[in-house]
Amino acid sequence: MSAKAVSCTIKSPVALQIGDVVSDSSRPGVYITDITLAEPVNIQEISFKNYYTAYLTVRLQRREDGSSSKWVTCLRNYCLMSNPHAEAGSHDYFSIYRQQMSTEPDNVTTVRLILRQPSSEWLNFSIQEINIYPCAKEDSERDVPVWLSTLTPVDEPLDLNGLPDPETVSSSIQQMWALTEMMQASQTAASIGRFDVEGSYDVKLLSYT
Amino acid sequence: MAEKRRVGVEIMCDSKSAKADGDKEFLSQTGVSALLRGALLKLLESRPEDPVGFLAEHFGHLSSEADDGGAEHQSVSRALWHLSLAHHSQRSAFNNNVRVAYELLTQGVPRRLSGGVHGRLYSEMLRCLCSEGGLSGSTAAPLLRRIQSHDYEAVPFELFRQGVLTCAVFADYIRKSQCLYAAVASAPDRPAERTLCQAVLSTLREALETADGTDVARYLEASAKISPAKVAQAMAEAHPRAQRQDGPTMDAQEFEDAAAALFIARVRIVT
């Protein structure tokens, strides 16, 4: 499905650290990235490119009825790198579908991605190229023309006793239709210029004929 | 040059090449080879059943053209003969013949009109075309009212071609509608049921009225409407089993007029 990604604002990741951010020199192991959506969306898919993130938790803020928003966790500690110290999965592309989520991602206003990397090997970790795809709406499918849907033959066989042969009749009608279409296609815009007087219409002539 | 030819003709038993030269020059001077080539091309285009008769007519026309320069009624009949050579489905041959006919008619008038064919000649051509196509006066009249011109008007080539093509196609159309009536009528001597005729005609009308979309989409949709299954369905609906007895009938002429009306409604009126 080639649904277009929803436009969203991705905020810069915030590190979760114990202690003072400025003075403490240890590197953070958790980043949180918020993505705000312009309008509530039913999410079909979230795709992204990994950069050394080991585990991902996804939380959604849903707009419930009565304009109250609720945070739910739809994906907990999803493993992106099987061994956090190794390279496997560190640069992979991932897609998370709504079927994998534990709650229905409907009417979502904000998506919060919690990135964890317990290994001290890596200087930085993040995820990039985040795209959120909405559910395809039913009416956005291209309409099937009416005549196509009536092409399948009727289930019950028609009682054609005493009726003329439909093949012969249809063939004659087709030829007559083709002749008329051909005549129409060959019509030109050429004119005799019956109502032209020196290149323009004369009102008196038009009213007499 | 003349000397050489005389020599070639007189001294027959002399060198064969001399005789051949003389013959070749004779042919090229009189233009007979071009004549024969044109005649053969026309023969191939029209493929008549009687080639000798066709060639006789062809040369007869050529000679009368050369003699007269064309009296008017003769030019119309000659133009008609040219148009009868190719069916309108043989597109390039038909167009060639239309062009030849047009040239014949424009040069037939002593005072050459700058616009094209004389209106009277054009109308007469169309009338003759319709009657040669087997159309009765009453069937052709509505069509002619739409496309013929006043006597004093001059008809340009495009309009001439369109009118001629329309008459030829209309003649075929009426023939087809007669076949259709024969198919709808259950027996050759009995008239067809009115409901059946109306169902068949309305299927055709619906297909013709397919309006929107590109050409391809229109053709596909229209052909879906006139497929055998659809036609069978329409006929079964119009003539259900319980009522398959003698109901009101429609005779052949009425059917033909109704079918003709469908065609003529789509012919552009000449202005």
| pLDDT score at A82 | 92
Mean pLDDT per block of 10 residues along chain A (209 residues) reads 70 78 72 88 90 93 78 89 92 92 87 91 89 75 68 65 82 90 83 63 58
By C-alpha distance, which of A173, A14, A175, A159 is closest to B232? A159
Q: What is the CA radius of gyration of chain A?
A: 33
A195 contacts B270? CB cut-off 8 A: no
- Complex-level ipTM beyond the 0.90 threshold: no
Residue of A nearest to B159 (CA): A190
The percentage of residues in chain B with a pLDDT greater than 90, rounded to a whole number, is: 3
Chain A residues whose beta carbon lies within 8 Å of the beta carbon of residue B236? 158-160, 163
Residues of chain B under the 70 pLDDT cut: 1-20, 65-72, 108-115, 212, 241-246
Chain B residues whose beta carbon lies within 8 Å of the beta carbon of residue A164? 183-186, 196, 235
Mean pLDDT estimate for chain B: 80
> For residues A151 and B198, what is the distance between their CA atoms, to the nearest angstrom?
23
| pLDDT score at B134 | 84
B217 contacts A145? CB cut-off 8 A: yes
A172 contacts B180? CB cut-off 8 A: yes
Decide if A16 touches B, using CB distance below 8 A.
Answer: no
Chain B residues whose beta carbon lies within 8 Å of the beta carbon of residue A150? 224
Buried residues in B103-116 as b, exposed as e (16+ CB within 10 A): ebbbebbeeeeeeb
Decide if A205 touches B, using CB distance below 8 A.
Answer: no
By C-alpha distance, which of A108, A86, A106 is closest to A39? A108
| pLDDT score at B155 | 83
Which residue in B162, B228, B263 is closest to A166 by CB distance?
B228
Whether the full predicted model's pTM is greater than 0.90, yes or no, is: no
Which residues lie across from A94 on neighbouring strands? A48
Decide if A199 touches B, using CB distance below 8 A.
Answer: no
> For residues A49 and A30, what is the distance between their CA atoms, to the nearest angstrom?
17
> What are the angstrom distances between the C-alpha of B117 and each of A52, B10, B101, B123, B257?
86, 51, 10, 10, 31
A159 contacts B183? CB cut-off 8 A: no
CA distance A31 to chain B (A): 55
Over the stretch B162-220, which tens digit does the pLDDT of each residue have? 889 999 999 999 999 988 888 888 777 778 888 888 888 888 888 888 876 778 888 88
Chain A residues whose beta carbon lies within 8 Å of the beta carbon of residue B220? 147
Chain A residues whose beta carbon lies within 8 Å of the beta carbon of residue B222? 177, 181
CA distance A81 to chain B (A): 52
Q: Give the dihedral sign, CA B103/B109/B114/B117.
A: negative
> What are the angstrom distances between the C-alpha of A136 and each of A5, A6, A22?
11, 12, 46
B162 contacts A177? CB cut-off 8 A: no
Residue whose structure tokens are 């929803």: A6
Q: Are B149 and B122 in contact (CB under 8 A)?
A: yes
Chain A residues whose beta carbon lies within 8 Å of the beta carbon of residue B242? none
By C-alpha distance, which of A173, A105, A79, A141 is closest to B259? A173
